[in-house]
Amino acid sequence: MGSFILLFGCLGLGVLLQRVKEFPKNSAQVLNQFIIYISMPALALYFIPEIELNSTVLLPVGVAWICFGAAALFFWSLGKAFGWSRKLVGCLILTGGLGNTSFVGLPVIEALFGPDSLETVILIDQPGTFVVLSTLGIAVAASFSRGTASAGVIARKIFLFPPFVAFLLALLLNVLHLHFPSELKEVFQRLGSTVSPLALVSVGLQLRPEWRSKHWGFLALGLTFQLILAPALILALYYGVFGLRGELLQISVLEAAMAPMITASIVAASHGLKPRLASMMVGFGIPLSFITLAFWYWVLNVVIS
C-alpha cells in the first residue's frame, strides 16, 4: 500500500509544484538528467551482478523485447499509412512499447503472488525492459528525433547512455562472478531508489491536461496498445504457442499490461519526441492501468485456469 501512496503522492506533488512560482521552470529537465546519469546506473549496478543467468530466464526476459518490437511495427505502420510525423511515431513506440515493470510492477506482482515472485519481475525488468530502453529505445529516440540518423550517431547515443554503460559493467561482473561489497551495494540501492519518486514528480511537473489538445486520440491509441494489445500478444504467444502455464505465465502477462514506463517517457521528452504526449501517457496510463490489470488478472484466473 505504501508504494501506491508514494506513486500517486509524488505524481500529485509534481502537479502542485507547477503552481509554486519559486520552483524553477526547468525542474523537470534537471530531475530527468539526475535519473539518467545517477539513479538508473545505480539500479543496474545493484541488481544485474546478482542475477543468475541460465536458459530459464529467456521467456520472462523476452516479454519486453517482444512488446517493444510489436509496438515499433504497429506504430510505424500506422505512421506510414496516415502520414504522422516521425516525432509522434517515436513517442508512441517508446511510451507504448515499454511498460512500467519495476515501480508499478514490483508492488503489484508482490501483492498478488508474494515476495518469491520478485525474482521473475527483476528478470522481466532488468535484462528485459531496462536493456531494451538502453539499446533499442535510445536508437529509436536518436533516429526519430532527427528525422534520419546515421548508424554512427545511433551507436554513439547507445554507448554513451549512462545506464547502458553501467549495464555493461554490471553484466561483466556477473559473468566473472564478481560482486560489490555490501557497503557499496547499499549506496547503489539508495541511489537507485530515487528513480521512482523523482520520475513521478518530473511527470507531474509536465502534466498539463489540455482538453482541446490534439493528443487525446494518440493518447487513447497508445494506451490501448500498452494496456490491452501488448498483454494479449504475450498471452497468445506464451500460452498458445509456447505452452507456458502457471505463475510464470500470469506474471509475464501482467507485466506486459503495466502502465507506460516512466523512464521511457523521460527519454522521449529529452529527445523532443512530443514531450506533452509522453507525460500524458504516464500520467493517465498509471491510474487507468489498475483497472485493466484487474481485468487481466480475472482473465488469467477465471478463463485460463
Q: How many residues does the chain have?
A: 305
Nearest to 264 by CA among 21, 46, 97, 84: 97
What pLDDT is recorded for position 40?
Answer: 81
Q: Show the cell assigned to 61.
A: 526476459
262 pLDDT tier (thresholds 50, 70, 90): confident
Between the CA of residue 228 and those of 64, 131, 289, what are the distances in Å? 15, 23, 10
Q: What mean pLDDT comes out for the span 198-212?
A: 74
The larger pLDDT score, comparing residue 292 to residue 109, is at: 292
Asked if residue 226 lies in contact with residue 48, where contact means CB atoms within 8 angstroms, the answer is: no
Residue 134 C-alpha from the chain's centroid: 11
Give the residue extent of every domain in the chain.
Answer: 25-206+220-304
Between the CA of residue 132 and those of 16, 57, 163, what are the distances in Å? 32, 15, 11
Between the CA of residue 279 and those of 27, 68, 119, 215, 225, what are the distances in Å? 14, 19, 29, 11, 17
Nearest to 50 by CA among 160, 189, 250: 189
**pLDDT tens-digit readout, 116-166:** 777 788 788 878 898 898 889 989 998 898 655 667 777 887 788 888 888
Cα atoms found within 13 Å of the Cα of residue 149, Cβ hemisphere only: 20
Instruction: Name 260's bridge partners.
Output: 99
**pLDDT tens-digit readout, 37-50:** 998 888 889 888 88
User: Which position has the grid cell 549495464?
Assistant: 167
**25-206+220-304 CATH:** 1.20.1530
Q: Show the cell assigned to 51.
A: 542475477
**pLDDT tens-digit readout, 206-253:** 766 666 667 889 999 999 999 999 999 999 999 999 888 889 999 999
Q: Show the cell assigned to 43.
A: 539500479
Q: Show the cell assigned to 15.
A: 502537479
Residue 101 C-alpha from the chain's centroid: 6
pTM here is 0.81
What pLDDT is recorded for position 56?
Answer: 67
What pLDDT is recorded for position 305?
Answer: 63
Angle at 104 between CA 269 and CA 13, to 5 degrees: 60
What pLDDT is recorded for position 153?
Answer: 72
Longest dimension (CA), the chain: 57
